[in-house]
């Protein structure tokens, strides 16, 4: 029996996804409420968890490891990083990976889940508030993430992705009370969501283009700063499998530094890296390049 196909895009998303919408409203209210409880310790906890969820989780795990397999690590490390990713409240690994793979397949064309060509607000967050979106059954998403569907741990983490968030929230409550929960869970999560959504919206609207790709992807430095390097989006779309997105010396890429640290500790290997061939540059735009093993990059 053939598996059903996901039909992404604004024209296919009907009705309000009330579960997601209610959750988003509640988290935004909690984020605003945090400002009534100014607490340095709680704010520091939020900053640490922002790095854990956004860098270790979304950037290093969900995106560069699970989606594109830009590097390999031991399974316990992979599972730990994936748990960090669930703290970002962006769905379980199979949801996230499958949707992002569809985005690359259809980028800024018919079927792209979140192209700004269908509206800036739509690309930023409207796409998750209508229709089924990330909340498709894992059996539907299996065709886009068959590798993860064969792993019972990733299947479990996809089904129960909210549990780590609850556990951390209860830990914050026990340690520091309401201020820690408001800053460390609600405020931190909302900021993390919007920075990730900026990659979907802003880096397909504004910025520079080093590579001549078939979509509207751009490099946008300020998005890269708040997403640990994900804002070098044109670099990424030109070479999706590359574990390194910031290709120039001035393109800060903390996710790449994290992956390099794993390598230095003997915890990461088979690392793919995009290498710019300056001889192919024409009028300031590189029309090609190559991805080589990390060991081959001087």
How many angstroms from the chain centroid is the CA of residue 241? 14
Q: Where are the beta strands (DSSP E) in 62-161?
A: 72-73
Residue 207: its pLDDT value, please? 96
**Residue 38 predicted with pLDDT over 50:** yes
Residue 109: φ, ψ to 5°: -135, 175
Residue 286: its pLDDT value, please? 46
- pTM higher than 0.85, yes or no? yes
- Residue 201 is encoded by which pair of tokens? 């919206």
Residue 197: its pLDDT value, please? 97
Q: Confidence class of residue 297 from pLDDT cuts 50, 70 and 90?
A: very low
pLDDT tens digit string along 151-210? 999 999 999 999 999 999 999 999 999 999 999 999 999 999 999 999 999 999 999 999
Start-to-end CA span in the chain (Å)? 49
CA distance 20 to 14: 14
Lowest mean pLDDT among 15-19, 83-87, 90-94, 242-246: 15-19
pLDDT, averaged across the chain: 89
**Residue 128 predicted with pLDDT over 70:** yes
Farthest-apart Cα atoms in the chain, separation: 58
* CA distances to 56, 158, 202, 296 from 210, in Å: 27, 35, 16, 22
Lowest mean pLDDT among 37-41, 210-214, 265-269: 210-214
Residue 15: its pLDDT value, please? 80
Residue 22 neighbours by CB under 8 Å, 6+ apart:
none
- Residue 48 is encoded by which pair of tokens? 């640490």
Contact of 182 with 42, CB cutoff 8 Å = yes
**Residue 140 predicted with pLDDT over 70:** no
Q: Confidence class of residue 70 from pLDDT cuts 50, 70 and 90?
A: very high
Residue 277: its pLDDT value, please? 62
User: What's the rounded mean pLDDT across residues 79-90?
Assistant: 97
Q: Which residue has the tokens 């560069």?
A: 64
């Amino acid at each position: 029996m053939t598996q059903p196909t996901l039909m992404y895009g604004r024209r296919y998303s009907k009705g309000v996804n009330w579960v997601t919408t209610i959750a988003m409203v509640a988290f935004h209210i909690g984020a605003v409420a945090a400002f009534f409880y100014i607490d340095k310790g709680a704010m520091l906890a939020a900053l640490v968890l922002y790095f854990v969820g956004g860098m270790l989780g979304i950037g290093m795990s969900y995106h560069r490891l699970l989606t594109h397999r830009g590097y390999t690590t031991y399974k316990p490390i992979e599972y730990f990083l994936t748990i960090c990713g669930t703290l970002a409240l962006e769905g379980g690994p199979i949801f996230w990976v499958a949707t992002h793979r569809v985005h690359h397949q259809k980028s800024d064309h018919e079927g792209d889940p979140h192209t700004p060509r269908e509206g800036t607000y739509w690309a930023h967050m409207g796409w998750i508030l209508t229709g089924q979106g990330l909340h498709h059954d894992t059996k539907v998403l299996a065709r886009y993430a068959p590798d993860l569907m064969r792993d019972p741990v990733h299947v479990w983490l996809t089904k129960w992705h909210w549990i780590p968030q609850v556990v951390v929230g209860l830990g914050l409550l026990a340690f520091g009370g309401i201020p820690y929960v408001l800053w460390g869970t609600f405020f931190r999560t909302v900021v993390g969501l919007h920075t990730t959504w900026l990659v979907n919206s802003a880096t397909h609207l504004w910025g520079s283009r080093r590579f001549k790709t078939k979509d509207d992807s751009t490099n946008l430095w300020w998005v890269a700063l708040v997403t640990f390097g994900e804002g070098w989006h044109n670099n990424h779309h030109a070479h999706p499998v590359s574990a390194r997105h910031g290709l120039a010396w001035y393109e800060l890429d903390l996710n790449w530094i994290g992956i390099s640290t794993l390598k230095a500790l003997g915890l990461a290997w088979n690392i793919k890296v995009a290498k710019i061939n300056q001889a192919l540059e024409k009028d300031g735009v590189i029309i090609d390049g190559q991805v080589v093993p990390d060991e081959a990059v001087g």
